[in-house]
């Protein structure tokens, strides 16, 4: 069965009444694990006054990552095997064969920039979809680095005749129309390598979402996005930050430090293997000092030792003393990114997600370091999701599914390689056509 893309032939991505069930698939290519989810959309349900498809997860697959480091493919063959196994497990469980997947992007040094363009509106309006598409296209054409690919476009606001900004301009009268557009792009090479892995698995990318943006789709509620919130997704090799204000993505970045660095610190500090370090971190680790930490001993298998000397007893305070500085560093780096974004300075709410946020005391440490209200974000419930996946570690893959389920009027999904090749061949006209198509589907 073919997986439907986010925007189907109906133009809104939603199955009509009476249609047969459709499938969507999500693939989270991380540095520690590869996760695949297959969902079935059937029927409609009411939510906030709108009709949206009902989604049920029918297949899941998780595989240890190979050939991926820091969110970037470093070995095509190893990454291909891991992706194949994860997808195969999900397909077997769902009893279907998929052809397209929504994929996350966590590497390629994402860059968020704001571009502005202006145009005259013939006859003083009203502004229509063509005008909106044209001014957004003019803003996008100001990009100077052809070595980067656009993955998100968010119109921050429109300005009519130099007046105050408005979220939507269509249908309003004005002699001039200006647009302030937030654009997120990534380096072309890492993206093409990821596409190569997907193609070798006999799959096509239905769309790409930046990892923190996908995680936000899974863990945030509507009021948080409107009032302003920052999502910090602590993955294995990277920590991703996404800032939302007034319902739109304002800033996104990836910090090349994550929970795997904590594991590495433990292995070095305690003289043990990475596997043993991960076990100690998961079962006994904490970022908060405890009054009894010096009194509790942990058995640690020493690296390369055998016989009676293979295991030593170390106080738990020693383990947590190794964990704490790196956890603080991750949060301090995230704080620096938040403070660099003007839209985030007024927001007082942070949502932590990703596997790294599950360390004991991480929420309390984040509130102290960030000086904000913090909560732990697990994926909002989806029918059929295994209980073991209802954790922050699976926020990205769950968010990819939700991105496929609910079309986002403020996101511009990267087209497949064939369409991007056509755009490059036709120049700005092809780019304009793609933006116009996005406008028509989204507004």
Phi and psi, residue 266, nearest 5°: -65, -45
The C-alpha angle 47, 208, 394, rounded to 5 degrees, equals 65
Residue 182 domain-assigned (yes or no) = yes
- Asked if 330 and 254 count as a contact pair (C-beta separation under 8 A), the reply is no
Report for 77-81, 132-136, 180-184: range of highest mean pLDDT = 77-81
More confident residue, 427 or 338: 338
Quote the tokens at residue 138. 């003019």
**pLDDT averaged over the chain?**
83
Average pLDDT of span 57-65: 94
The pLDDT of residue 148 is: 87
Least confident of 80-94, 100-114, 132-146, 428-442: 428-442
Residue 152 has pLDDT above 50, yes or no: yes
Instruction: Indicate the residue among 301, 323, 345 that finishes a domain.
Output: 323
pLDDT in tens, 181-204: 888 888 999 999 999 999 999 999
Confidence grade of residue 14 (pLDDT, cut at 50, 70, 90): very low
Least confident of 155-159, 298-302, 326-330, 403-407: 403-407
Confidence grade of residue 340 (pLDDT, cut at 50, 70, 90): confident
Residue 47 domain-assigned (yes or no) = no
Average pLDDT of span 98-111: 89
Phi and psi, residue 163, nearest 5°: -80, -165
Residues in CB range of 278: below 8 A, 6 or more apart = 263
Rounded to whole angstroms, the Cα distance separating 135 from 117 reads: 6
Residue 419 has pLDDT above 60, yes or no: no
Strand ranges in 302-385 using DSSP code E only, listed in sequence order? 311-315, 349-353, 373-376
Residue 181 domain-assigned (yes or no) = yes
Rounded to whole angstroms, the Cα distance separating 30 from 16 reads: 34
The C-alpha angle 164, 169, 171, rounded to 5 degrees, equals 130
DSSP H or E run through 253: strand 248-255
* Structural domain count, the chain: 2
Q: How far is CA 38 from the centre of its chain?
A: 17
Average pLDDT of span 61-74: 93
Residue 302 has pLDDT above 70, yes or no: yes
The pLDDT of residue 53 is: 66
Residue 17 domain-assigned (yes or no) = no
The C-alpha angle 243, 336, 213, rounded to 5 degrees, equals 25
Residue 296 domain-assigned (yes or no) = yes
Residue 271 domain-assigned (yes or no) = yes
What CATH number corresponds to the domain at position 418?
A: 3.30.1490.110
What CATH number corresponds to the domain at position 282?
A: 3.90.640.10
DSSP H or E run through 278: helix 274-284
Instruction: Indicate the residue among 284, 304, 323 that finishes a domain.
Output: 323
pLDDT in tens, 225-258: 888 899 999 999 999 999 988 777 888 888 999 9
Residue 279 has pLDDT above 90, yes or no: yes
Residue 83 domain-assigned (yes or no) = no
Average pLDDT of span 1-7: 32
Confidence grade of residue 35 (pLDDT, cut at 50, 70, 90): very high
The pLDDT of residue 336 is: 93
Residue 152 domain-assigned (yes or no) = yes
CB-count exposure of residue 424 (10 Å: 0-12, 13-18, 19+): exposed
Q: How far is CA 258 from the centre of its chain?
A: 15
pTM of the predicted model over 0.75: yes
- Asked if 412 and 438 count as a contact pair (C-beta separation under 8 A), the reply is yes
Instruction: Indicate the residue among 296, 323, 350 that finishes a domain.
Output: 323
Share of the chain above pLDDT 70, in %: 84
Residue 7 has pLDDT above 80, yes or no: no
Residue 2 has pLDDT above 70, yes or no: no
Rounded to whole angstroms, the Cα distance separating 434 from 389 reads: 36
Quote the tokens at residue 227. 């009032």
Please report where in the chains the tokens 């990277």 appear, as a residue. 238
Rounded to whole angstroms, the Cα distance separating 70 from 375 reads: 25
Residues in CB range of 309: below 8 A, 6 or more apart = 302
More confident residue, 357 or 155: 357
* Residue span of the structural domain in which 280 resides: 266-323
Report for 308-312, 384-388, 393-397: range of highest mean pLDDT = 393-397
Confidence grade of residue 80 (pLDDT, cut at 50, 70, 90): very high
């Amino acid at each position: 069965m073919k997986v439907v893309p986010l925007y189907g032939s109906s133009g809104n991505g939603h199955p009509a009444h009476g249609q047969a069930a459709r499938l969507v698939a999500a693939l989270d290519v991380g540095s520690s694990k590869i996760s695949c989810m297959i969902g079935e959309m059937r029927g409609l349900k009411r939510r906030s006054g709108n009709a949206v498809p009902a989604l049920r997860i029918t297949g899941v697959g998780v595989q240890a990552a190979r050939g991926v480091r820091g969110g970037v493919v470093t070995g095509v063959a190893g990454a291909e095997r891991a992706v194949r196994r994860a997808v195969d497990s999900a397909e077997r469980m769902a009893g279907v064969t998929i052809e397209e997947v929504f994929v996350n992007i966590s590497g390629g040094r994402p860059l968020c920039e704001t571009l502005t363009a202006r145009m005259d509106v013939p006859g003083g309006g009203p502004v229509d979809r063509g005008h909106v598409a044209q001014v957004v296209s003019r803003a996008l054409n100001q990009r100077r680095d052809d070595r980067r690919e656009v993955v998100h476009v968010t119109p921050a606001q429109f300005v009519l005749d130099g007046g105050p900004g408005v979220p939507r301009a269509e249908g309003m009268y004005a002699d001039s129309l200006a647009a302030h557009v937030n654009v997120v792009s990534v380096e072309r090479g890492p993206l093409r390598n990821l596409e190569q892995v997907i193609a070798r698995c006999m799959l096509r990318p239905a769309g790409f979402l930046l990892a923190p943006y996908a995680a936000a789709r899974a863990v945030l509620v509507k009021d948080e996005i409107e009032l302003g919130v920052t999502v910090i997704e602590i993955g294995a090799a990277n920590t991703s930050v996404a800032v939302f204000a007034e319902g739109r993505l304002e800033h996104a970045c990836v910090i090349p430090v994550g929970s795997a660095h904590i594991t590495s610190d433990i292995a070095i500090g305690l003289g043990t293997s990475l596997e043993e370090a991960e076990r100690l971190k998961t079962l006994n680790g904490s970022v908060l000092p405890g009054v009894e930490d010096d009194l509790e001993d942990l058995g640690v298998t020493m690296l390369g030792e055998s016989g009676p000397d293979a295991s030593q007893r170390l106080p738990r305070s020693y383990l947590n003393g190794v964990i704490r500085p790196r956890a603080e560093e991750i949060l301090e780096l995230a704080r620096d990114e938040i403070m660099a974004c003007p839209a985030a300075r007024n927001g007082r709410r942070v949502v932590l997600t990703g596997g790294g946020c599950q360390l004991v005391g991480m929420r309390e440490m984040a509130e102290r370091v960030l000086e904000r209200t913090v909560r732990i974000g697990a994926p909002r419930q989806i029918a059929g999701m295994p209980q073991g996946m209802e954790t922050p570690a699976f926020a990205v893959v769950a968010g990819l599914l939700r991105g496929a389920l609910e079309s986002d009027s403020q996101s511009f999904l990267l087209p497949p390689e064939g369409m991007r090749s056509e755009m490059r061949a036709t120049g700005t006209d092809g780019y304009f056509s793609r933006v116009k198509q996005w406008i028509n589907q989204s507004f």
